Structure 1
Amino acid sequence: MLEAWAPLLSVSAIEPTVRDVPYGEHPRQVLDVFAPEAAANLPILVFVHGGAFVRGDKEQTPLVYANVPAEFSRHGFLAFNVEYRLAPEASWPAGAEDVRDAILWVARHAEKWGGDPTRIFLMGHSAACAHCASAVWDDRVRPPEGLPVAGLALVSPRVVADTRADNPNAHGVRAYYGEDAARYAEREPIGLVRPDAPPTLIALAQYENPLLDFYALELAHRLAAVADQDKGPMPRVIQLMDHNHVSIVAQFSTPCNELGVQMCDWFERVLRGDFGARKLLRSAKAASEVSKSC
């Protein structure tokens, strides 16, 4: 799949502004910076790669995953590509702690490259969604005041600690969450959604890895239930047709990019308050304004 997308990605590839900037002391606690020229007061996108908890790299190939921050850099974001420690060397909650530390580092240093630390969006793919969601939702990881994240985007999210026989990455779940399955429910992010969290976007492919589409939809249902009961933000859910678990990220920075366009729309709506705490529909007046704009 990566080879199939390589010709399109090679045309649009751009080099990071700065590579392997440390946000911690471990060799894998580094990030790449993608800064547009003459950047000032830009929204920020922090991307975290997948890898079933035990593998993966911010440059899985010379083109992927750098294509993701490159995509948003072209759309006027200061973008960061984050590396983190892997299991079994770094077990739960180390991945989430690394994401937390990377976000706090970005908030402190983003202005150097023209970023606005009050407009940070956090995006993860696959297993990294567990780290991103836990960093934002889990009181055992996030700072007491929360993380400075305006919105959370979870792409093909692995948010359940699942060791079923039909999960081809069950070994990674055990390596990160431990062998004691009785602890999984208290550690997996799907059970940690909260009404005071930032708005969440969930994207899934039509042809997902086993079970991930079910878990993505279950997460959306739980977020919607929290929005209904506790006035939290409603999630936005996108299913990318004709894509699978790899192509959903490989398509960024190509002419075939569909998800990036929808994500940019969601970012804009979050920043203007459309995805804040749930409110009653703004009556016929709002509907009339929408119809006029169309």
Structure 2
Amino acid sequence: MQTSQEPLGSLSATLRQRFAQIGPVWGSDINAHRDLVICAYSPLVAAARDAGASFEAARDVPYGSHERQRLDVFVSEETRRKGNADVVLFVHGGAFLRGSKSFNGLIYDNVSRWFARQGCVALNVEYRLAPEASYPAGADDVAAALAWAHAHVVEFGGDPRRIYLVGHSAGGSHVASYLCDPLFAGLRDGENASAVAGAVLISARLAADVFADNPNAAGVRAYFGADESRYAARSPLTYAEHFDTPLMVVVAEYENPYLDAYGAAFFERVLLARQRAGDARAKRAPRFMQMLRHNHTSVVAHFDSGETLLGDAMLDFFGG
């Protein structure tokens, strides 16, 4: 497979032009635009999947009792044999109401498969959905998946002290809540505290809102509740100053409304808190990356398609 660090570099010129057209109006019909993006990347991801070695080590491993508390493990035989590998725990999006770890057998497997190609142990996590599972259930599931990883990744060649949490969209909200919401302070200080080596929040919903132009307002209500007066107290952005984990924030140029602003605000608050602290936390500044020409879906759908810009930046963050 040819690789490129150019944004949208694995797509044809025709598709790049189509993406440029839908980008500025992304929020006007996110479902249709999402489907277009998935259709564009799925053949490329399928070709990469079918070429070369297999990386699927285990499917639908339970980390809890609910039918959706399942994860897949991706790792190469070489990584498994060598051991001490970085672990990437990926939590997919879906507006709190939908989504799965393997949307069409390709997306979001592509994220984990790409990191497995790079010598990581990659975990693709599914979690409970609203309205059955409302706040803070998503972060509870992140905590449970992390506990499973801490106990078992060594069996697959992973280093339990080098686990990176990566969340996209609603999954990013759950990762961020686990890492900074005071509700989880006890868990963060427990036996898994040293396991989280860093976090990457990709197009994450870091503040709950039901504005008129929020196309996923129904999902916000279903997860965070009908009482809007409680949204601030349940939003990761409110507790950004408590985020002690090495952090990388990623947004797309064309986002679901406000998610780029929330990501930038979260980054700023974490950065200022670390600068004010003047202690060891300030020695590693958070990172911020805007993926030009990408949209809310392509920012993850492009993994394992040939474009490596974001993946390479994340690997650099892991090694930093």
Same fold (TM over 0.5): yes
Report the aligned-residue RMSD.
Answer: 1.3
Higher helix proportion: 2
Distance 1:75 1:163 in 2: 39
The 5 Å alignment of 1:105-184 reads 105-142=148-185, 143=187, 145=189, 147=193, 148-184=195-231
In structure 1, what residue type is equivalent to 2:74?
F
**Equivalent of residue 25 in structure 1, options 65, 71, 83:** 65
Contact 1:123/1:155 (8 A) holds in 2? yes
Runs in 1 of length 4+ with deviation above 4 angstroms? none
DSSP 3-state at the match of 2:166 = strand
DSSP 3-state at the match of 1:8 = helix
Distance 1:184 1:191 in 2: 10
Q: Does 1:53 find its partner at 2:89?
A: no
Distance 2:106 2:188 in 1: 37
Corresponding residue for residue 3 of structure 1: 39
* Number of positions where the alignment pairs a residue of Structure 1 with one of Structure 2: 269
Contact 2:253/2:292 (8 A) holds in 1? yes
Contact 2:243/2:270 (8 A) holds in 1? no
Distance 1:230 1:157 in 2: 25
C-alpha change, 1:196 and 1:153, in structure 2 (3 Å) is closer
In structure 2, what residue type is equivalent to 1:52?
A
DSSP 3-state at the match of 2:89 = strand
**Equivalent of residue 297 in structure 2, options 237, 246, 254:** 246
Distance 2:308 2:43 in 1: 14
Give the TM-score normalised by the residue count of structure 2: 0.82
Deviations 1:104-150 (A, max 9, x none): 11000111111100000000000111100111112312515153201
Contact 2:55/2:75 (8 A) holds in 1? no
Contact 1:206/1:244 (8 A) holds in 2? yes
Corresponding residue for residue 91 of structure 1: 134
Distance 1:217 1:137 in 2: 16
Contact 1:70/1:79 (8 A) holds in 2? yes
Contact 1:195/1:227 (8 A) holds in 2? no
CA displacement at 1:62 relative to structure 2: 1.1
CA displacement at 1:25 relative to structure 2: 0.1
**Equivalent of residue 259 in structure 1, options 310, 317, 320:** 310
Contact 1:97/1:135 (8 A) holds in 2? yes
Distance 2:260 2:189 in 1: 32
Q: Give ranges in structure 1 of 5+ residues lacking alignment.
A: 270-294
Corresponding residue for residue 104 of structure 1: 147
Give the TM-score normalised by the residue count of structure 1: 0.89
CA displacement at 1:256 relative to structure 2: 1.8
In structure 1, what residue type is equivalent to 2:143?
R
Distance 2:188 2:256 in 1: 35
Distance 2:121 2:306 in 1: 21
In structure 1, what residue type is equivalent to 2:317?
W
Distance 2:62 2:200 in 1: 24
Per chain length, whose mean CA-contact separation is higher, i.e. which structure has more relative contact order (CA < 8 Å, sep 6+)? 2
DSSP 3-state at the match of 1:136 = helix
